[in-house]
Amino acid sequence: MSEERAPEENLADEFRSLGKNLLEALRSAWEAPERKRLSEELESNLNELSATLRQEMDAFRDSPTGQRLKDDLEDLGERVRSGAAESKVREELLAALRAANQELSKVAQRWSSTSEPPAESQTPPGVDTPPTEGGA
């Protein structure tokens, strides 16, 4: 009677063979002339794009619009350093946060009203409720 290999050994052999075949397929694909040509073409196109972008940036920097943008950015930087812009940003951020909190409060009240009737005391502490229409 001939000795047969255990199924586990056959499985391990097949996995080893699969690994070798995958490596060989990857090596062949990497060394293929098409991949090398594509890689060279991609590199060439990226270099061309880089040169074009650099040229356009230089042209924009020297244009009246570019000069105006540069001056505006310098002015903004000066306002930030002096603190003038900080209070404006703080005010706008505070207004946006208040509006978001009010809207979230409305949504929470609507959701809770589906399970129980809304009560005046359901507004979370620290959240201002917007005035109702008709004044109150």
Mean pLDDT, residues 71-100 taken together: 85
Question: Is residue 2 pLDDT above 70, yes or no?
Answer: no
Q: In the prediction, which pLDDT does 27 show?
A: 92
Number of structural domains in the chain: 1
Q: Is there a domain that residue 35 lies in?
A: yes
pLDDT (0 to 100) of residue 16: 93
Q: Is residue 23 part of a domain?
A: yes
55 close to 46: Cβ distance less than 8 angstroms: no
In a domain, 88, yes or no: no
Question: 80 is written with which tokens?
Answer: 């930030």
Which residue has better confidence, 112 or 97? 97
Q: Is the pLDDT of residue 61 over 50?
A: yes
The fraction of the chain above a pLDDT of 90, given in percent, is 48
Please give the model's pTM, rounded to 2 decimal places: 0.39
Instruction: State residue 51's pLDDT score.
Output: 96
User: 136 lies in a domain?
Assistant: no
> Which range of residues forms the domain containing residue 29?
15-62
Q: Is residue 101 part of a domain?
A: no
Q: Classify residue 22: in a domain, yes or no.
A: yes
36 domain residue, yes or no: yes
What pLDDT is attached to residue 79? 79
Q: Is residue 121's pLDDT more than 80?
A: no
User: Which residues fall within 8 angstroms of residue 55, CB to CB, at 6 or more apart?
Assistant: none
Tens-digit pLDDT profile for residues 38-48: 999 999 999 99
